[in-house]
């Protein structure tokens, strides 16, 4: 699936080249050095195109043009359009959802941990270079079951698990009263997910803009206090 490993190093030096025909020297060229980040350049271009048109409607030619290379050159780095897409999404997920944290920081309150998580998640999931991922997974995931599955496993479930863990910790400590931490975690993520989708889907087509800060605050507020009036103060 990934040809870059099998193809050795980036061989050319940036040295002059003489092109000679049978008659005479006709050119002195400085070959464009293939940089090690050619793959990155492709992925960046692919992100733009996939974000703008979706997987099916994106065209390899546009990606290549954006990179400034020829279409076949794409295939030197990736096996197929699908491979580019998979690498791109995989990378973004790995980027946005960092590997297992060292466990919960027990010195902090569950509420504090959750509040931090929500704030961070709002920022990460709505990053403009990532927001298209859930969108495209949603729209074309059926055509890439493994990829959708990967996103599910590595992005969604992992995040949900972490939230659930915090919730359970809070319950254990008496901070939280939550009968169903498993599903409550989905409620917590729901507000974030909706916001990310909003930004990626509706804003570009002229929907009303969303104020992410206000949304993050309101969401946290609801998550902690609920709607019902109460006497006691909130932390």
Partner DNA sequence: AATGAATGAGGTTTCATTCAT
Partner DNA sequence: AATGAATGAAACCTCATTCAT
Do 30 and 14 contact (CB within 8 A), yes or no? yes
Please name which of 189, 164, 161 lies closest in space to residue 110, comparing C-alpha atoms: 164
Instruction: Output the smallest distance, CB 56 to a copy of itself, in A.
Output: 4
- Binds 161, which of a copy of itself, DNA, none (CB < 5 to 8 A, cut-off by type)? none
Instruction: Establish if 101 lies at the interface with DNA (CB under 7 A).
Output: no
Q: Which of 2, 40, 61, 120 binds DNA (CB under 7 A)?
A: 61
Instruction: Establish if 47 lies at the interface with DNA (CB under 7 A).
Output: no
Instruction: Establish if 202 lies at the interface with DNA (CB under 7 A).
Output: no
Instruction: Output the smallest distance, CB 4 to DNA, in A.
Output: 8
Please name which of 187, 188, 170 lies closest in space to residue 178, comparing C-alpha atoms: 170
Which range of residues in 11-19, 60-68, 70-78, 122-130 is near a copy of itself by CB under 8 A?
11-19
Give the torsion sign (CA, 149, 143, 88, 185): negative
Instruction: Establish if 69 lies at the interface with DNA (CB under 7 A).
Output: yes
CA distances from 113 to 19, 86, 104, 105, 164 (A): 64, 32, 8, 8, 12
Q: How far apart are the C-alpha atoms of 34 and 151, rounded to whole Å? A: 31
Q: Which of 31, 204, 209, 226 binds DNA (CB under 7 A)?
A: 31
- Binds 123, which of a copy of itself, DNA, none (CB < 5 to 8 A, cut-off by type)? none
- The tokens for 228 are 């019902």
Instruction: Output the smallest distance, CB 71 to DNA, in A.
Output: 4
Do 37 and 46 contact (CB within 8 A), yes or no? no
Cross-strand bridge partners of residue 68: none
* Residues near DNA, by CB under 7 A: 7-8, 10-12, 27, 29-32, 34, 38, 58-61, 69-73, 75-76, 79-82
């Amino acid at each position: 699936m990934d040809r870059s490993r099998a193809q050795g190093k980036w061989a050319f030096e940036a040295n002059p080249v003489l092109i000679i025909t049978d008659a005479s020297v006709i050119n002195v060229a400085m070959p464009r050095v293939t940089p090690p980040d050619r793959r990155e350049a492709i992925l960046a271009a692919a992100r733009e195109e996939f974000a703008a048109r979706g997987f099916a409607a994106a065209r390899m030619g546009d990606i290549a043009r954006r990179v400034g290379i020829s279409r076949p050159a794409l295939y030197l780095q990736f096996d197929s359009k699908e491979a580019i897409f998979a690498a791109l999404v995989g990378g973004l997920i790995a980027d946005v959802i960092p590997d297992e944290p060292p466990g919960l920081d027990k010195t902090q309150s569950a509420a504090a941990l959750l509040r931090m998580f929500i704030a961070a998640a709002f920022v990460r999931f709505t990053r403009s270079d990532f927001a298209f991922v859930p969108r495209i997974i949603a729209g074309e995931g059926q055509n890439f079951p493994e990829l959708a599955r990967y996103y599910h496993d590595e992005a969604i479930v992992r995040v949900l698990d972490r939230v659930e863990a915090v919730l359970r910790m809070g319950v254990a400590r008496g901070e939280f009263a939550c009968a169903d931490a498993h599903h409550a975690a989905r409620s917590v993520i729901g507000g974030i997910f909706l916001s990310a989708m909003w930004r990626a889907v509706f804003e570009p087509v002229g929907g009303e803009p969303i104020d992410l800060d206000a949304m993050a605050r309101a969401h946290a507020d609801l998550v902690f206090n609920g709607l019902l009036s109460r006497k006691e103060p909130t932390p």
